[in-house]
């Protein structure tokens, strides 16, 4: 939220739309959370109500303290390593469902990755055509990560499905020979 407000004042409702539209893929947030958090940030002096509009609209702006906190978080607080992937957790126990179903699971992962990749390509087309320089640069860098991640996932899932398939045939061959 400090990041979004650093680009200019906005209401809780505005921020909500931004989260839903552009930030949804990296940091989903709900309406309740947003309003509650705005209250907290205001109490801490990191944001302030700059103007009030119709329908009870409150336009928030970031304060100097808020900007300092944002900069601090950006470069000094170490990013957390992305742990906890249920997609990967399942892989550990895939022997419980047999090679055939396991291969199916991995193939579906590959398909999903292709689908996500295509969606991101669509978004990039759209983003390239607008926005200011800084946002275009960093937005594009983030998008590129999405593209590389989904491509890697597709490749890996296909490779893994192949390995499971090879084991499947090996076993079948042995069974036939016995």
- Return residues touching DNA (CB under 7 A): 11-14, 16-17, 28-33, 35-39, 53-58
- Report how far residue 29's alpha carbon sits from residue 105's, in angstroms, rounded to the nearest whole number: 29
- Report how far residue 157's alpha carbon sits from residue 166's, in angstroms, rounded to the nearest whole number: 14
170 token code pair? 């090996």
121 binds its own copies (CB under 8 A): no
80 binds its own copies (CB under 8 A): yes
Cα dihedral: 54, 58, 62, 63 (round 10) = 110
Inter-residue contact 164 to 102 (CB < 8 Å): yes
Q: Which stretch binds its own copies (CB under 8 A): 8-16, 35-43, 83-91, 122-130?
A: 83-91
Q: Which does 53 bind (CB under 5 to 8 A by kind): DNA, its own copies, none?
A: DNA
Q: Which does 172 bind (CB under 5 to 8 A by kind): DNA, its own copies, none?
A: none
Q: Which does 124 bind (CB under 5 to 8 A by kind): its own copies, DNA, none?
A: none
User: Which is nearest to 120 in space by CA: 27, 18, 22?
Assistant: 22
Measured between its terminal Cα atoms, the distance across the chain in Å is 65
What are the residues binding its own copies (CB under 8 A)?
A: 3, 6, 23-28, 67, 70-71, 73-75, 79-97, 101-102, 104-105, 109, 112, 116, 134-135, 137-139, 141-142, 144-145, 148-149, 152-153, 155-156, 159-160, 163-164, 167
């Amino acid at each position: 939220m400090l990041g979004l407000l650093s680009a200019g004042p906005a209401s809780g409702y505005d921020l909500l739309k931004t989260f839903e539209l552009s930030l949804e893929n990296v940091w989903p947030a709900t309406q309740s959370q947003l309003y509650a958090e705005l209250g907290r940030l205001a109490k801490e002096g990191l944001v302030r109500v700059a103007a009030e509009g119709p329908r009870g609209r409150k336009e928030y702006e970031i304060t100097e303290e808020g900007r300092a906190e944002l900069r601090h978080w950006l470069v000094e607080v170490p990013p957390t390593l992305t742990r906890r992937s249920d997609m990967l957790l399942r892989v550990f126990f895939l022997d419980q469902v047999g090679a055939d179903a396991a291969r199916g699971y991995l193939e579906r992962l590959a398909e999903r990755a292709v689908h996500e990749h295509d969606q991101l390509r669509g978004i990039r087309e759209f983003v390239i055509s607008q926005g200011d320089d800084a946002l275009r640069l960093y937005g594009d860098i983030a998008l590129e990560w999405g593209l590389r991640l989904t491509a890697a996932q597709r490749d890996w899932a296909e490779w893994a499905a192949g390995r499971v398939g090879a084991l499947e045939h090996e076993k079948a061959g042995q069974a036939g020979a016995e």
